[in-house]
Amino acid sequence: MSLKIIAIRTLISILLSIMALYFEKASGMRSIYLMLLLMGFITLPVLRIWVKKNGLYFLECGIVFGLNYMTRFSLNMVFIAFYVMILLESFFTSDRDEVLEVGFLSAVLMGINFYVLLPYGVNYRLITEMVFLELMLMLVVAMLYFLKSYRLEKKKVASLLEENEQKREALEKALYTVSEQNESYEHAQDEVVRLTRVAERAELAGALHDTIGHEITGLIMQIEMLNMQYKVPLAKEAADHAREILRGMRQVVETLQMHSVSESTTIKLKQKITAFSEQTGIQVHLNFEINMEIFEDEYKQMIYRTVLEALTNTAKHSNATEIWLIFNTLTTGTYFLKLMDNGKNEKWNEVISGEHAELYSEGNGLRFIRKRVQKLGGIVEYKCERDGGFQIMIQFEGGLRD
């Protein structure tokens, strides 16, 4: 950037210097002085590339002062324009304070140039031009100073916005991590409850087998011994009946040992929905044509969490009075979960055109739903319509238990 600006300034300086020398028509020592000063003014910006000191701006202002002192005109606009060139270059290559310093020095030196002219006689026209040029230079300095300040503040604001965006992304990632950990924790709790109930059932089955089973077996043996001794007709029937009781009890024990009595996800979801309706007054219509228990735990958790997140989202952001939860299979064999409410979005009155305008922002809740579904290879679509309220549509495949 600096090299490009210096190259442009050098080219303009050369052209203006040639034009100034043409109009000056200088001769003798004055011609040599003018050429030396102009060469210094042209080469100093190039020298600054190697020296890398912005203090050379002040030396350039001194050179321009000398040029204005050596001119044969009362006011040489080319040499006065050099002050503006120095200001513009400092604006692009220096900081705000140095721009102000260069501008102040330029205004002072130009004022001294004007003061030197006073002994040679001036008129109102010349005085007016001097005052006008001095005011214009100060105006340029003020404009460049405030423009530099604006660019610095804009850069600071952009930096703060970028920092805030990074913090927001980090916070969102942390929230998602906490949500996943919470899901894992609840899943672990459910597993503990399930294993506890399985253990209780196994203990109950063992107790039945060790106590009642042994007692019935002993009773059968006593009845058979009684039948062998006394040939009682009812004894054989009693023994057969006792065997049927023992067989039935063994089936019960086997059932207790083979199957868990953990609370199903469907029952738990219905309990949550009932509690939600009681707390919010929103009526929930549940139409699940598919039993959730046929899916693997990860898929059941996705459905369970999605429904709860949708209920919470409706309660927070919608004026809905009813919610419909639909879960079925499409003709393609894909599983389809749809959650919609009859909420009325207040932003509809602000919509000028468009039947399906974007009237919602995808906050943390909706983003978490999308990430859960996409993690399992599913598709999520959100829709906000005038007559249909807000809808969440999810499609996924697989996930069945083996």
Would the pTM of this model clear 0.85, i.e. be above it? no
Q: Using alpha carbons, select from 88, 4, 3 the residue that is nearest to residue 50.
A: 3
The answer to which of 262-266, 287-291, 341-345 has the lowest mean pLDDT is: 262-266
Mean pLDDT of the residues in the chain = 79
pLDDT at 260: 42
Taking each helix axis as running N to C, give the angle between helix 56-70 and helix 96-117, from 0 to 180 degrees, rounded to the nearest 10: 20
pLDDT tens digits for range 293-344: 889 888 998 999 899 989 988 887 788 899 999 999 998 889 999 999 998 7
Contact 64, 86 (CB under 8 A): yes
Q: How far apart are CA 153 and CA 371, in angstroms?
A: 38
C-alpha 67/C-alpha 90 separation (Å) is 20
Mean pLDDT of 335-354: 70
Lowest mean pLDDT: which of 86-90, 129-133, 312-316, 384-388? Answer: 384-388
* Tokens read off for 191: 């597993």
The whole-number pLDDT of residue 293 equals 83
Q: Please name which of 83, 85, 71, 76 lies closest in space to residue 33, comparing C-alpha atoms.
A: 71
Residue-wise pLDDT tens digits, 182-232: 878 887 887 788 777 767 777 777 677 667 766 777 777 778 777 777 777
Q: Check residue 286 and give its pLDDT.
A: 93
